[in-house]
Amino acid sequence: MSNLKAVILVGGYGTRLRPLTLSQPKPIIPFCNKPLVVYQIEALAKIGVTTVVLAISYKPEEMAKALEPYESKLSVKIKYSRESIPLGTAGPLSLMKKLLQEDSPDSPFFVLNSDIVSEFPFSDLLKFHYAHGKEGTIMVTTVTNPSKYGVVVYDQNSGKIDKFVEKPKNYVGNKINAGLYIFNPSILSQIEVRPTSLEKEIFPAMAASGQLYAMELHGFWMDVGQPKDYLIGMSKYLSHLQENDQEVQTLASGPNIIGPVLIHPSAKISPDSLIGPYVSIGPECFIETGVRLKHCTLMNNVHVEAHSWIKSSIIGWHCHIGKWVRMDNATVLGMDVSIHDEVFINGAKVLPHKCISESIIDPNAIIM
Ligand code: GTP
């Protein structure tokens, strides 16, 4: 399995995760105290991937700086393939033909969307791909409301994909594209250097020629590319840690903790606060007495003063929350936001460096 390679598509603008992505590109946004894309790099390194190519179209320096420590930690080479214009989800692969075929011209390679969290069963995916012997395999996951998604229709025994149905009005199945793929290098000759979509252009053509298979992903999965889904993904990941014997000790415990809760060792938490379930607290946070946190993420260096109540919210880096503040309903605070005492925020998105002194009731408010 040596010389295995993977491509992670990191070139999107991450508009749905604003205001967080105004300060950092989505792949390095903290998720349970680690950059989001690191979960994927770790899982790839674990099954023997030696080179990960990040397909990027803007801000490569910032991402390279954030990910550099993981190269030696995970013994994996992280390379960057830069597009001068965004090439969509397929176009970037055509730019890196040489890189992908270097040393191992016949070896299949993984391709991942960067905003997915999952257990990443890449070893099973590789085995399944070799077993059917065709050009590509995509992982699929089960959803309860398939009419919102592109549904993958395939033979349940062999996995051979019949067709893709975008937002079906009538039920055709409940399996959707999970954003995790493996392809043989032969696919590269079918993709040109121009903006091209894997999902809309390349996959339907591969399915029509019988070259694309689906493998069901078991375990948790979430696309965390928007705030509500980020919070659902966080809950699923923390539950996964709680159920896993080797990981459970990474979680916090104590009389003021309702698990699962993840707290960075450098955070200071008053024993008179009540934290959880489903809370992630980043480095250098300071949580004062009487604070109540549930189903929320605090990135690094957030200070929450006494008796504030925060639920279903994402609090960006370096925010300051006053006393008796109440926040709910997928509120997102960008970097370095300050909230005055007694303010209520009901789902607003607050841009970086703002100071909020009055309550915001409108859940669709964007505070610029
Ligand atoms: P939104 O702006 O919030 O829709 O996010 P996004 O731009 O990341 O879009 P989306 O979630 O649909 O993208 C799926 C994956 O493809 C993500 O991992 C993106 O980073 C990546 N991606 C989207 N467009 C491009 C592109 O033009 N170039 C590259 N290299 N990656 C892309």
Domains, the chain, ordered by start: 4-223 (3.90.550.10), 227-367 (2.160.10.10)
The Cα 81–Cα 98 span in angstroms is 11
The DSSP symbol for 316 reads -
Question: What pLDDT is attached to residue 105?
Answer: 78
Q: What is the mean pLDDT of each run of 10 residues along the chain (368 residues)?
A: 85 89 92 96 95 87 90 93 89 89 86 95 96 96 87 93 88 92 92 90 93 94 94 96 83 94 96 96 98 98 98 98 98 97 97 96 91
Alpha helices in 183-301 (DSSP H): 203-208, 227-243
Token look-up 């075929």 returns: 101
The pick from 9, 117, 181 for probing ligand 1's pocket by mutation, whose C-beta has the most ligand atoms within 8 angstroms, reads 9
Residue located nearest, by CA, to atom 22 of ligand 1: 12
Peptide bond into 277 cis (omega under 30): yes
Angle at 244 between CA 243 and CA 245, to 5 degrees: 115
Q: Separation of 224 CA from ligand 1 center, angstroms?
A: 12
The Cα 363–Cα 346 span in angstroms is 5
What's the one-letter identity of residue 262?
L
Cα Rg of the chain (Å, integer): 21
Residue located nearest, by CA, to atom 1 of ligand 1: 14
Give the number of the atom of ligand 1 that is nearest the alpha carbon of residue 195. 27
Residue located nearest, by CA, to atom 28 of ligand 1: 11
Q: How is residue 267 written in tokens? A: 């955070």
Active site residues: 167
Q: Separation of 129 CA from ligand 1 center, angstroms?
A: 25
Q: Separation of 241 CA from ligand 1 center, angstroms?
A: 28
The answer to whether the CB of 219 falls within 8 A of the CB of 121 is: yes
Question: 73-83 burial, b for 16+ CB within 10 Å, e for fewer?
Answer: ebebebebbeb
Mapping DSSP to helix (H, G, I), strand (E, B) and coil, where does residue 293 land?
A: strand
What's the one-letter identity of residue 306?
A
Q: How many other β-carbons are positioned within 10 Å of the β-carbon of residue 33? A: 19
Q: How is residue 178 written in tokens? A: 């999970």
Q: How is residue 53 written in tokens? A: 């190519």
Mapping DSSP to helix (H, G, I), strand (E, B) and coil, where does residue 35 land?
A: strand
Mapping DSSP to helix (H, G, I), strand (E, B) and coil, where does residue 111 land?
A: strand
Question: What pLDDT is attached to residue 110?
Answer: 97
The Cα 291–Cα 210 span in angstroms is 57
Nearest to 76 by CA among 111, 26, 40: 40
The Cα 68–Cα 80 span in angstroms is 12
Q: Which residues have any ligand 1 atom within 6 Å of their CB?
A: 9-17, 26, 55-57, 83, 86-89, 92, 113-115, 225
The model's pTM is: 0.93
Q: How many other β-carbons are positioned within 10 Å of the β-carbon of residue 92? A: 28
The answer to whether the CB of 247 falls within 8 A of the CB of 264 is: no
The Cα 116–Cα 221 span in angstroms is 7
